[in-house]
Amino acid sequence: MKIVIVGDGKVGQALTGRLAEEGHDVVVIDSSPKALRTSVEVHDVMGVSGNGASYAVQKEAGVEEADLLIAATSGDELNLLCCMVAKKLGARHTIARVRNPDYADQLVLMKEELGLSMTINPELAAAREIARMLRFPSALKLDSFARGQVELVEIKVKADSPLLGQALYSLSSRLGIRILICAVRRGEDVYIPTGDFVLREGDKISITASPDQLDSLFRKLGIYRHKIHRVMVVGGGRIAYYLAKQLLKLGMFVKIIEQDAARCEQLSETLPKAHIILGDGTERELLEEEGIADMDALVAVTGMDEENIIISMYAGTLGLAKVVTKINRMSFQEILDGAGIESVITPKGITVNQIVRYVRAMENSQGSNVETLHRIVGGRVEALEFNVAGNCQGELTGIPLKDLRTRKNLLIACIIRGRQIIYPGGNDTIEEGDNVIVVTTEHQLQDLSDILERP
């Protein structure tokens, strides 16, 4: 597919790398020749210097022949204008990054008039992910499939865990709950485990289960933590605003610490039920004065990765039920692991995942579309949800899984059939209308049929 990306900032660069890696013909537009030069050299893509909303610049980039234009500049209005111009030129699909909460309602009403196929709000998406993490504080990371019917969580195997030394095939029967361990990170190594895989202390394991089964699992493992009621948020940006709105609706106590006085006034007006504190959240004395030790959770979402890391390290020493850290640069991952910071969100990564899922669905509009896509285990494993279309009949449907020749390092983790959740064995089959969750180290699955080993 031919894809034009307007904006070569953090999100634009991440998208360029991911989409070029997946074999797409990518053209990047940006007003900075220096930024363009880096993307062109590193990712072997075409670069066009100029204003992405300019008709002439979009013509030079070949937008009239593009399957998709993605507007990811720092300006919402510029992104919307880019999409309108692209649609007039003939681009098949357009995606705009729009971050201002004031535009949310208008975009729903004017999506067609603006020529938008999709809008992305990284801060809102990040806030939703944090809210899910706070729902299951025992999990390091939490992703949802099938509209919440199935959860994918990551936990760490502790020294006293009943999971230690156990082969995976025996776990469900030993624990009396229905779960499936679909990925294991052991140091630098990542495994898509078979039934005879044995867990060790320190393993980080990804588990698929229904929400109620997860609750039972945490209790049996002795890592169950009571529900979160009191949350301190350090940083008063858009993520804090969106997150506070969600948590307040759930009846939680929310305290936001922000050092910009004007922003504090805005938050006080828009979030009258939240407690807004003017101050520097990196100062230990302030955190103690505002009762950090009495909180159930702390969320660090300032604009500085370093500040978020320091705040989270301190909060981690206080025994809070949950500490969530926002970072933009994944190069900090090794530092985070060493510092014991485990629940991390990256708005850039969430945005890229959502757009890649849309691109794969575009490529396969007649096949088994990608409904949900999450990158797990530090981005080294993909978990995808496919809806099984009728054209899969004969190749995948009605055939026992033990008779399917699937790719290596791939696991069919779950089959959702209506309200029934199936953790499949060799005799189970995939049927038309099912939703199927696949976990794999392959990063280019577009259709469910791609799980098969081809000659």
Question: What average pLDDT does range 255-275 have in this prediction?
Answer: 97
Helix residue ranges per DSSP H, 28-75: 33-43, 55-60
pLDDT exceeds cutoff 90 at 373? no
pLDDT at 365: 59
Helix residue ranges per DSSP H, 281-321: 284-289, 305-316
What is residue 375's three-state secondary structure? strand
CA-derived radius of gyration, the chain: 23
pLDDT at 94: 96
What is each CA distance from 177 to 150, 212, 291, 412, in whole angstroms? 14, 10, 38, 19
Beta bridge partners of 215: none
Dihedrals phi, psi of 396, to nearest 5 degrees: -125, -35
Buried b (16+ CB within 10 A) or exposed e, 381-404: bbbbbbbbbeebeeebbeeebeeb
pLDDT in tens, 311-364: 999 999 998 999 999 998 866 666 676 666 878 999 998 899 889 988 887 876
β-bridge pairing 93-97 and 118-120: parallel
Closest CA to 179 of 209, 135, 140, 203: 209
* Residue 60, H or E segment: helix 55-60
β-bridge pairing 381-387 and 435-440: antiparallel
Q: CA 303, CA 319: separation in Å to the nearest integer?
A: 25
Q: CA 395, CA 384: separation in Å to the nearest integer?
A: 19
Closest CA to 255 of 267, 269, 266: 267
pLDDT at 243: 97
pLDDT at 332: 64
Domain boundaries, given as residue ranges, for the chain: 2-120, 126-132+139-221, 230-345, 352-451
pLDDT at 138: 86
Query: How much of the chain is helix, strand and coil, in % rounded to 5?
Result: 40, 25, 35
Check for a shared fold between 2-120 and 230-345. Answer: yes
Task: Compute the mean pLDDT over every residue in the chain, rounded to the nearest whole number.
Answer: 90
Q: CA 104, CA 109: separation in Å to the nearest integer?
A: 9
Question: What average pLDDT does range 423-446 have in this prediction?
Answer: 90
Q: CA 373, CA 361: separation in Å to the nearest integer?
A: 11
pLDDT in tens, 80-116: 999 999 999 999 999 999 998 888 777 777 777 788 9
396 confidence band (pLDDT: 50, 70, 90): confident
Closest CA to 97 of 81, 115, 73, 114: 73
Q: CA 409, CA 298: separation in Å to the nearest integer?
A: 36
Minimum mean pLDDT among 107-116, 428-437, 442-451: which range? Answer: 107-116
pLDDT at 55: 96
The total number of residues written for the chain in this structure: 455
Q: CA 400, CA 218: separation in Å to the nearest integer?
A: 32
391 confidence band (pLDDT: 50, 70, 90): low
The letter for the amino acid at 154 is E
User: What fold is seen in the domain 230-345?
Assistant: Rossmann fold (3.40.50)
Percentage of the chain with pLDDT > 70? 95
Q: CA 20, CA 8: separation in Å to the nearest integer?
A: 14
Question: What average pLDDT does range 419-438 have in this prediction?
Answer: 92
CA atoms in the 13 A half-sphere facing the CB of 141: 23
Closest CA to 68 of 47, 51, 48, 82: 82
Q: Which of 118-127, 337-346, 390-399 has the highest average model confidence (pLDDT)? A: 118-127
CA atoms in the 13 A half-sphere facing the CB of 206: 31
Q: CA 135, CA 138: separation in Å to the nearest integer?
A: 9
pLDDT at 361: 79
Domain 2-120: give its CATH architecture: 3-Layer(aba) Sandwich (3.40)
Q: CA 278, CA 169: separation in Å to the nearest integer?
A: 53
* Residue 77, H or E segment: helix 76-89
Could you tell me if 306 and 298 are in contact, meaning their C-beta atoms sit under 8 angstroms apart? no
pLDDT at 370: 82
pLDDT exceeds cutoff 90 at 273? yes
The DSSP call for residue 293 is G
pLDDT exceeds cutoff 70 at 60? yes
Place of tokens 């289960």: 209
pLDDT exceeds cutoff 60 at 366? no
Domain 126-132+139-221: give its CATH architecture: 2-Layer Sandwich (3.30)
pLDDT in tens, 22-46: 899 999 999 999 889 989 999 989 9
pLDDT at 363: 75
Q: Which CATH number fits domain 352-451: 3.40.50.1220, 1.20.1240.10, 3.90.1200.10, 3.30.70.1450?
A: 3.30.70.1450
Q: CA 309, CA 287: separation in Å to the nearest integer?
A: 15
pLDDT at 367: 60
pTM of the model: 0.84
Question: What average pLDDT does range 119-127 have in this prediction?
Answer: 92
Place of tokens 């679909």: 182
